[in-house]
Structure 1
Amino acid sequence: MRHLLFAANWKMHIGPAEARDYATRFRSAYTPAADRQIWFFPCAVSLEATSAAFAGLAECRVGAQDVHWEPKGAFTGALSIPLAKAAGATAVLVGHSERRHLFGETDEATGRKVRAALAGLVAPILCVGEKLDERERGETEAVVERQLNAGVGTLSAEELDRVVIAYEPVWAIGTGRSATPEDAGAVHARLRARLQSLGAHVTRILYGGSVNQGNIDALLAQPE
């Protein structure tokens, strides 16, 4: 069974004190529900505080925004999976568009990070999505399939079912523009078909890109 999953990437915002304050306000307003999960991705310095603040909420997880695939070493500025776990992380974002396009993260690197996350018993969310020029050239499906194959193409069916896929069209992230529910649904269907061809049946697929109160119901109404 695939539970509904919401993920919140805090990017380079919200320090430890703000995270604790947010969690307090969240707890006062949140109604627990067994059929949904909410995963939070704070910046590295806020991981421990956020994890502690959400402790005891079974539906909530806290994850890292990025990790290195090596468990330790001379990688200045990087965060290893063991260190992320020590700070309370149980999930990790892999291949976010900002990591790909601002920091030069390659498809090969995303595959290594996904495999390292699974080996470290941390749930990876693999992000895939096309840029505006790729969309305008009609390359959306080719781009997301290439990124999907690089990230999870060598995994077993059991491993695939432990991965979450997030379709996030680059042109819609933080711009106020969003893919139509039908367009997002079509890409999700293509991703689902590829995952099923690899033997995965319960892998969850998320949509990310200027989701708001005005479009969330229509997005949730899509089959995928």
Structure 2
Amino acid sequence: MATPASAQIENGQDTRLRLDQQLDQQRARQEEKGLEGIDGTDAPDSLVIDGKTYAVGNNVDDIGKALYISVGRRQWADVRRFLATYELLPDHDPMLVHYAKGGLARAGGDLAEAEREYRALLKLNSTFLPGQLELGRVLFENRKDRDAKRAFQAIRDQLADGGEQAQGVLRNVDAFLGALKKRQGWQVNLALGPSYSDNVNQSSASYT
């Protein structure tokens, strides 16, 4: 039976997977400070990626693409700028709105709101892989282990025949499933408590 010390070591992967959430929250707070005093009423017309500035037209396609890219790169200040305009445009995609709002909520530490947004997204398209992955991450971070396991296992089953392209995603999914398994073992050890360990040792000694 694992000791508390060994369980903590095994739980290192769990901790590592949660660190990016903390970094996201820190980045979001820094970006919010940078936005203070800026008038966001004008439609954004550019996006900076890796130091290069790209023009963004004031239309649903260009702003939608810029919004999607900003979410993927976790540029939350840009997400807020583009989302505010995108929602006002005719023919905007509600899936993208939920995806962006879910990312903002998760980055801000509001996991319940992030879960609501991702579930609303998946009601519109249950096979949207980025939304499935983000929902799984949010459930994991919010320690809803049973739901998280179900979400990641569904992704794994969906990508089982995805070939070489799916391998990177599958490795990520397997990392979460492994962390969930170790977390579950750690919780079982805590629930059993030292008295169980003592009883096991006494029972083992009776056979020697």
In the superposition, the TM-score normalised over structure 2's length comes to 0.28
> By percentage of residues, which structure has more strand?
1
- Higher helix proportion: 2
Structure having greater relative contact order (Cα 8 Å, sep ≥ 6)? 2
